[in-house]
Amino acid sequence: MGDMRKDYVSERFMIVSKKDDKVIDPKKSPFAPGNESMTNPSVLSLVAKDGMLQRLQDSEDEYVEGWSIRVFESKNPIVSIETENSYSDRPHYSEPSYGYHYIVVASPKEKDTLATIDTEQWSNVLVVVQDRLRWLYTQKGVTYVSIFADQGETAGSQNPHPHLNILTFSTIPPIIEEEAEASYKILNEKGVCPMCQIVNEEMGGPRQIIQTEGFIAYCPWAPSYPFEFCISPKKHTTSFSKITQKEINDLSLILRATLGGLSKTIKDVSYNLVFHLSPEKKNSRQIHWHIEIYPITKPWSGLERGYGIFLNDLSPEQAAEKLGVSCRKELANLVGIV
């Protein structure tokens, strides 16, 4: 396993990793039922039996069959607990890329996507992610747990089988650190959580896509990508691991509706889905947790890569209008209105 290197000057990290999850033969996807021996043994396999979900796991010589969700350590981890303790200082700063890397296979069906699995399945996936998140924060050396999904090759995924990645880090990722610091500053100066303020501003406005009882999906005021959108809890909350089953079911509904609407709006769209969460361990810099979805519809220009100034040929108001039409239809179908 490689190391985690920091830019000469800025707080930007990169990891040297020989990650290779490419599926050579689609007929032998390692994430598909019957191919369990191609991955590490599961630490959790959910199996439906007699109307209940059993929590099982593989043994050394026997793999659980008939699973609906499967969790295992990646065979090609980006981070590893077996990394060497090597450090170096600036200008060539590096530290061990220490951490855990789990895969959560979201469906046994290869033709499924995160935009087609039903809301009940999404709820079960989120419960599994929530449980794994809690467990990881009890482990030594875990400072931050990241949760993300890559859909499509241009979004970084070479395995089309629907799955999520759970990675831990021994430090807080720079973007989360920056967001937490900015939120803390605004909270101290204005006495209000900036995400609560955003939710109140966007609710019912031109950038809202849809909302459910507890969540709102909206296109941000200054997006980095065309059709980029966020899903945020309406009420102030800093911990995803503590949300209730009712809230999980509600989140599943808006996730399924928005991802389904996105796939109807942009054919064969690739996207990244990222959870922005507060560190669960003692930390005064907390954020109102949320999920960000970045559709990959065009390459970045030199202005974007070199200066961090983004060019979009579609305003977030136009994107929200187009996504809203598709997402409202998806939501209506899911709740049985149509």
DSSP label of 156: T
Residue with tokens 């070479």: 158
312-319 long-range Cβ contacts below 8 angstroms, 24+ apart: 312/223, 312/225, 312/226, 313/226, 314/226, 314/227, 316/207, 316/219, 316/220, 316/221, 316/222, 316/223, 316/228, 317/206, 317/207, 317/219, 319/219, 319/223, 319/226, 319/227, 319/228, 319/229
pTM to 2 decimal places: 0.93
**Mean pLDDT across the chain:** 91
Query: What are the tens digits of pLDDT across the range 237-278?
Result: 999 999 999 999 999 999 999 999 999 999 999 999 999 999
Query: What are the tens digits of pLDDT across the range 82-126?
Result: 866 677 788 887 777 889 999 999 999 999 999 999 999 999 999
Angle at 279 between CA 278 and CA 282, to 5 degrees: 120
DSSP label of 154: G
Query: What are the tens digits of pLDDT across the range 8-22?
Result: 888 788 887 765 555
List, by residue number, the catalytic residues. Answer: 163
What domains, with CATH codes, occur in the chain? 1-171 (3.30.428.10), 177-338 (3.30.428.10)
Helix and strand numbers (H, E) in the chain are 6, 14
Q: Is 23 within 8 Å of 16 (Cβ atoms)?
A: no
